[in-house]
Structure 1
């Protein structure tokens, strides 16, 4: 079974505030899709509408061509982790998953399987109220996997995880995508998204900013960085700043240059007789592109006037 998530002109308003504004996108199977946006961009609201937890004000969002709420026994169709704290603290991990399995017509054997896969089998008999955030995240991922669904949705799944847990989640998402499943991951951790996601959906103030591959999105930054090393330290900085570049000294004749591509720096150095020992362009950074392209969509900025 191969399922897609499709949103068309999806809109959600709360009183006079528009949290999601005519948002259209498609999440395809077989890749990990990162869902990015500044705080307050409408990411969680969008995910809740995908899962039928919030009703859209306008537009539609479907899983396999239908609103998710129309699918019987939803855990067989899509699994999700939206809030690791949204569980009954008085239940044990095993009881929590067993209740989900019974209500969705799933075999009880799946409970033991996902507890083991998520690395919480040893604490299955403990009450969830005593779990750390990382353990709650693992339990939430286990619940998402319970129905062996073709669609998986995760909202900030790495919060609270230790390095081993982060590595496990990274490998899990890749394996699920390789199996042909549809995997949508919302996260604010750009470094992790850079290592995990294949495609990106980026929103700001509830509107679509980009829907493209991670590589193409990162390449949209207009501030390429280039490492330049020269023995002619008295000539190079002024030469480059005079052409609009920003030059930061790193020590021992090494500079980081932004605002000029490597080929232009090389041409200028050659023309003016400046010797270069290194000229190394840096790959486009997801974080730099994200900060640049979402700058006008940031709702709260550090140091902003109140």
Structure 2
């Protein structure tokens, strides 16, 4: 299990992570979500002992990462797929990691096969594509057969086959009883992969809940309405519901169910060709919940420029 207790990180006057407490339990894929600048990467780095916490603690299997004599056997992680020596082959990169953690040489070949890189094992990593480097990073995370795994944006650079593969890998790792923590901005994949969600914004915990509960609690029910008289229908529905155009002949209605929309259309003599409830999505729920926690808002050039300047100034301090 990965446990975070009151984790806080300050960079000068900037509070990057603010009193975070959560747990990543065995047997689940836990999605770690938040807008850009929310503190996700900083939190992951503190879990792995790469950044020192200002206060609070993070433990893996009951003790800090740095206290494990063979860290790769306690937790496997992929934070930066580019963190390899370009002149070293994939095989020798993994062999060096294995030697430093008391892992048998035979495990290197096993994980290369697991991630589909056995045919390029003797190639120098500097010739690898981003997707191949991602696979190599995942192989390194699996090398010690650890009970806990951490992945930061593991889908970067992967083709569709690779995305399906890693989705299956995450699910299988959890089914084997491992604790899996995965950060990604790809909401559709997170929705298909994760069982549980940790959501943060501006360094603070916003949600810690099962996936289905999160979606149900933080998204609006919508109904797609299509027909030749949508302009008339919009005037009828607008006082009672939120209505927006979808295409020329269709509307999306929020705040009213399909039965009520159909009844109002029938009473007004408005012809309908389609009346379809839409299933709420993780993307919609996430956007609704984190709207006030965004550091950067598209569409406001002045605000974005000011935010960028402030961030640059803080970074240089």
TM-score, normalised by the number of residues in structure 1 = 0.93
Displacement of 1:259 after TM fit? 3.7
Counterparts of 1:23-38 in structure 2, within 5 Å, are 23-38=20-35
Aligned with residue 295 of structure 2, among 291, 294, 299: 299
Aligned with residue 73 of structure 1, among 66, 70, 82: 70
Cα offsets for 1:206-225 (capped at 9, x unmatched): 10111111122122335322
Displacement of 1:269 after TM fit? 3.8
SS, match of residue 168 in structure 1: helix
Counterparts of 1:116-195 in structure 2, within 5 Å, are 116-195=113-192
Superposed CA RMSD in Å reads: 1.8
Distance 2:156 2:2 in 1: 24
Distance 1:42 1:257 in 2: 35
Cα offsets for 1:11-65 (capped at 9, x unmatched): 0111111110001111111111110111111101101111111111111111112
Aligned with residue 206 of structure 1, among 196, 203, 208: 203
Cα offsets for 1:244-267 (capped at 9, x unmatched): 421325355x43223433344345
Between Structure 1 and Structure 2, the one with more helix by share is 2
Displacement of 1:270 after TM fit? 5.4
Choose 235-244 or 107-116, whichever is displaced more: 235-244
Displacement of 1:279 after TM fit? 2.8
Distance 1:54 1:97 in 2: 24
Distance 2:184 2:54 in 1: 25
Aligned with residue 51 of structure 1, among 44, 48, 51: 48
SS, match of residue 156 in structure 2: coil
Displacement of 1:76 after TM fit? 0.8
Displacement of 1:293 after TM fit? 0.9
Q: Which residue of 2 aligns with 1:13?
A: 10
Displacement of 1:117 after TM fit? 0.8
Displacement of 1:296 after TM fit? 1.2
Structure 2 vs 1, CA of residues 105 and 288 (structure 1 numbering), >3 Å: closer, same or farther? same
SS, match of residue 148 in structure 1: coil
Distance 1:234 1:12 in 2: 53
Is contact 2:243–2:253 with CA below 8 Å preserved after alignment?
yes
Aligned length in residues: 302
Structure 2 vs 1, CA of residues 302 and 235 (structure 1 numbering), >3 Å: closer, same or farther? closer
Q: Does 1:42 align with 2:44?
A: no
Distance 1:250 1:203 in 2: 34
Distance 1:73 1:263 in 2: 60
SS, match of residue 219 in structure 1: helix
Displacement of 1:240 after TM fit? 0.8
Q: Which residue of 2 aligns with 1:286?
A: 282
Structure 2 vs 1, CA of residues 137 and 233 (structure 1 numbering), >3 Å: closer, same or farther? closer
Q: Which residue of 1 aligns with 2:258?
A: 262
Structure 2 vs 1, CA of residues 267 and 70 (structure 1 numbering), >3 Å: closer, same or farther? farther
5+ long unaligned stretches in structure 2: 306-317
Distance 1:294 1:161 in 2: 27
Structure 2 vs 1, CA of residues 34 and 234 (structure 1 numbering), >3 Å: closer, same or farther? closer
Structure 2 vs 1, CA of residues 193 and 222 (structure 1 numbering), >3 Å: closer, same or farther? closer
Structure 2 vs 1, CA of residues 18 and 10 (structure 1 numbering), >3 Å: closer, same or farther? same
Choose 137-146 or 88-97, whichever is displaced more: 88-97
Displacement of 1:69 after TM fit? 1.1
Cα offsets for 1:135-193 (capped at 9, x unmatched): 10000000000011110110000101111111111110011111111111000111111
